[in-house]
Structure 1
Amino acid sequence: MIETLLQPFQFAFMQNAFVMVLIIAVPTSLLSCYLVLKGWSLMGDAISHAVLPGVVAAYMLGLPLIIGAFVAGMFCALATGFLSENSRVKQDTVMGIVFSGMFGFGIVMYTKVSTDVHLDHILFGNMLGVGSSDLWTAGLIALFVGAIVIAKRRDLMLHAFDPVQAQAVGLRVGWLHYGLLALISLTIVATLSAVGIILSIGLLIAPGAIAFLLTQQFARMLPIAVGVTMLSGFLGVYASFYLDSAPAPTIILILTAIFIAAFIKSNINTRRATT
């Protein structure tokens, strides 16, 4: 019985998957708290989809895929900001147009390039196929993003709640705005090999939303989000071994189930408080 339960830990590819999911849990969950507070969930979705043409272009030029993904993600963020500030169209509409256009462009580019990189691995990730280079890349990015977010957590929180007040007290709002976008792009690059383009958005939204339902104090949101993501990631990878399913979608399903439970708990507590 014990040997069966411990069987997933006996394989090197499963060990790498466990390490990878614990690594990417830190930056994604920390950023998700700010994305939920700022109402930027669609921005994370836009950037995650928009990196595809950058990935294909980097492959064509013989560059590391992470460079192309980061450049494309930043281009999407900057283009969205420019168009929304210089037109009457609302930001969410602009984001939808930009990311769908770039995603479509990436698909067209991919169909014209002969490559041994399978599209499913780009879109949905290949967590069971990550190697030491992927772990090092994700680890360094997670360390950098986590350190920046923790160091600037108060400034980012004020910018998320009240950008006008943040500017009034002397904070560089522009640096915070585009710095946060850069951190999102870097984090999506870190998760690219593990959960892919499409599923990375789940890790950038669900943890913050769950933490938001479980507590009213932002200082507690950050550790709750990290803990929930690590737990869901570990259980998702572990369960996928026995279910013979892909780890990334399994992790997202577990996060969804936790969100539903947190939603029910929040509603029950709200009703008790009003009665």
Structure 2
Amino acid sequence: MDHIIHWFLDPFQFEFMRRALWAGLAVGAVCAVLSCYLILKGWSLMGDAISHAVLPGIVIAYVTGIALPIGAFASGLTCALLTGYIKENSRVKEDTVMGIVYSGMFALGLVLFTKVETEQHLLHILFGNMLGINDYEFLQTVIISLIVFVIIVLFRKDFLLYCFDKSHARVVGLPVVFIHYSLLILLSLTIVATIQAVGVIMVVAMLVSPGITAFVLTKQFSKMMWIALAVSLTSIVAGILVSFYIDGATSACIVLVQAAFFIAALTTSRLKNRARLSSGKNTLIAN
């Protein structure tokens, strides 16, 4: 028993591990809650689009000397607004528009990235640098995550009604346009906070895996949020511990743990469905 306790606690004797843990829990909580709405709304690809679209904003922010999160937020929000504008003014479907816009902006970011000569190692923006977060990045990540989390919790019913049935939300008097762009802004802010820890490439998994895992386990949205939170936070802790002991990439280990949770949830759901069907058949035969 003592060996197991030491296995869990020994890595967190180091300050950088404790900092990574708290930053990971902060982004994990907000990503879990937001992922439930993204799954319900069908915006999984939107998180992928914005996470890739922030790259040109980050590079431009570095060149101009402004804070990187400001550039990332501006670039991500531009992608979201541009996607909405093209969808509303053309016959092209939303997923197609997102594919075109985000791939174009990501390509622009890669071109700028390769042309910028810098002593700063910008690759952590792509792949994350969870164990190397400095004090400024830590505070920024925690504060942004906390703000987004509180807003989502306070207006969770309005967001739920909009994501579930936009027409009904409009009928009852909710400002659906304002809610639409509020969700996009919250998503952009979440991505800005998350890329400091897990990077652009892994952020989409953080925004999808907890919600989809909970979705296959329950049909009640309140339970879905609690399950997503549990999956996300557990994955953060387990991923950090695994990465410490195998000396692997922390963000990748976290995503792998989340993938394992999804596979386990999907398997459990299918076994329950089979058991329910078998029970129904037996009852029918008995009758």
Give the TM-score normalised by the residue count of structure 2: 0.93
After superposition, the C-alpha distances for 1:178-212 in whole angstroms (9 at most, x for unaligned) are 00000000000101111011101100000000111
1:119: Cα distance to partner?
A: 3.8
Q: Which residue of 1 aligns with 2:256?
A: 253
The answer (yes or no) to whether the contact 2:55–2:106 under 8 Å persists in 1 is: yes
Determine which of 93, 97, 100 is the counterpart of 1:97. 100
1:6: Cα distance to partner?
A: 3.3
Report the AA paired with residue 51 of structure 2: S
1:103: Cα distance to partner?
A: 0.3
1:56: Cα distance to partner?
A: 0.4
Percent of residue pairs identical: 51
1:4: Cα distance to partner?
A: 5.6
Determine which of 9, 12, 30 is the counterpart of 1:9. 12
After superposition, the C-alpha distances for 1:227-265 in whole angstroms (9 at most, x for unaligned) are 111100001001101111011000000000000000011
The answer (yes or no) to whether the contact 2:195–2:203 under 8 Å persists in 1 is: yes
Report the AA paired with residue 17 of structure 2: M
Determine which of 229, 239, 264 is the counterpart of 2:267. 264
Q: Which residue of 2 aligns with 1:215?
A: 218
1:228-239 pair list within 5 angstroms:
228-239=231-242
2:186 pairs with 1:183 = yes
2: CA distance, partners of 1:134 / 1:25 = 16
Question: What's the secondary structure of 2:234's corresponding residue?
Answer: helix
Question: For structure 1, which runs of at least 5 residues remain unmatched after alignment?
Answer: none
Question: What's the secondary structure of 1:115's corresponding residue?
Answer: coil
Q: Which residue of 1 aligns with 2:209?
A: 206
1:163: Cα distance to partner?
A: 0.4
Determine which of 159, 164, 175 is the counterpart of 1:161. 164
Report the AA paired with residue 272 of structure 1: A
1:152: Cα distance to partner?
A: 0.9
Question: For structure 2, which runs of at least 5 residues remain unmatched after alignment?
Answer: 279-287
2: CA distance, partners of 1:90 / 1:165 = 22
Determine which of 9, 19, 24 is the counterpart of 2:22. 19
Q: Larger Rg: 1 or 2? A: 2
Question: What's the secondary structure of 2:140's corresponding residue?
Answer: helix
1:117: Cα distance to partner?
A: 2.9
1:78: Cα distance to partner?
A: 0.3
1:274: Cα distance to partner?
A: 2.6
Report the AA paired with residue 274 of structure 2: R
2: CA distance, partners of 1:21 / 1:131 = 14
Q: Which residue of 1 aligns with 2:145?
A: 142
Determine which of 138, 155, 175 is the counterpart of 1:152. 155
The answer (yes or no) to whether the contact 2:8–2:241 under 8 Å persists in 1 is: no
Aligned pairs, number: 275
After superposition, the C-alpha distances for 1:45-68 in whole angstroms (9 at most, x for unaligned) are 000000000000110111110000
The answer (yes or no) to whether the contact 2:52–2:102 under 8 Å persists in 1 is: yes
Q: Which residue of 2 aligns with 1:244?
A: 247
Question: What's the secondary structure of 1:214's corresponding residue?
Answer: coil
2:262 pairs with 1:274 = no
State which drifts further: 204-213 or 220-229: 220-229
